Chains A and B, each alone.
Chain A
């Protein structure tokens, strides 16, 4: 075995340290638990499912939209106010920050649950049947978080 001087030993030592550090980091990173759980990232998608249910199954919500659109073709200030109150409750329960509602050919309005900075949004379309299902109206719902 060749005799190594002090400088060569130090260089080899440094290289070995680096290799071991890389291996160690690799092992630690691969086995390290997730700091964020994916469920938190998917709040908007989960909420989207429930909001769709709310529009179709909450009789008072659906009937308010249906009456407004069938009789006048648009939603009045009173109807928007009622819907906002109702949607505020849903938004708070589902953990979303804001809900934007855009009714095709009618009013657009927003319901704010909290005033924190919005970073993510998810939009989905709802087709609301009117006049006993003889007509459709598109409602675009955007959820913010």
Chain B
């Protein structure tokens, strides 16, 4: 009887001890870090689209109409090179339409230029 109680105590104590050691020794627990990394990665991709959108919207207002095709080509090339974003613009429409797609995860944003 005494031995059984001793083993029961040891069982509970060792379980807590091992749990605590694993917890303290792990800076990035597997379960949390996996979810955490994917959230941050998705947020970074989303923020890049927002920055790209900001650059397109702000610079469009300052570009001369005759220079717009060249500007659109520069924007498309540079955003693909820097962020892997595919930019398609329809400058013939009024207001002009833009679609940005992230080639790595398919995230996209569409907006008009005024």
- The judgment on whether A and B are partners is yes
Residues on A close to B: CB < 8 A? 6, 9-10, 13, 16-18, 20-21, 24-26, 28-30, 32, 34-36, 38, 41-42, 45-46, 48-49, 52-53, 56-57, 123-129, 132-136, 138, 140
Q: Say which residue of B12, B50, B66 sits within 8 Å of A134 (CB atoms).
A: B66
B31 close to chain A: CB less than 8 A: yes
Q: Say which residue of B22, B47, B78 sits within 8 Å of A25 (CB atoms).
A: B22
Q: Mostly helix, strand, loop or mixed at chain A's interface?
A: helix
A20 to B, closest residue via Cβ:
B15
Residues of B within 8 A of A6 (CB): 3
Residues of B within 8 A of A56 (CB): 58-59, 62
Residues of B within 8 A of A48 (CB): 47-48, 51
A6 to B, closest residue via Cβ:
B3
Whether B47 lies near A21 (C-beta < 8 A) is no
What 0/1 pattern do residues 1 to 31 of B give for CB contact below 8 A with A?
Answer: 0010001001110111011001100110111
Minimum CB–CB distance from B43 to chain A (whole Å) comes to 6
8 A-B contacts, Cβ less than 8 Å apart? A20-B11, A29-B30, A36-B36, A38-B40, A56-B62, A57-B58, A125-B79, A132-B64
Q: Say which residue of A32, A42, A135 sits within 8 Å of B23 (CB atoms).
A: A32
A137 to B, closest residue via Cβ:
B74
Minimum CB–CB distance from A108 to chain B (whole Å) comes to 16
Whether B59 lies near A128 (C-beta < 8 A) is yes
Nearest 9 interchain pairs by C-beta:
A133-B64, A45-B47, A21-B18, A125-B78, A20-B15, A56-B58, A24-B19, A29-B29, A129-B62
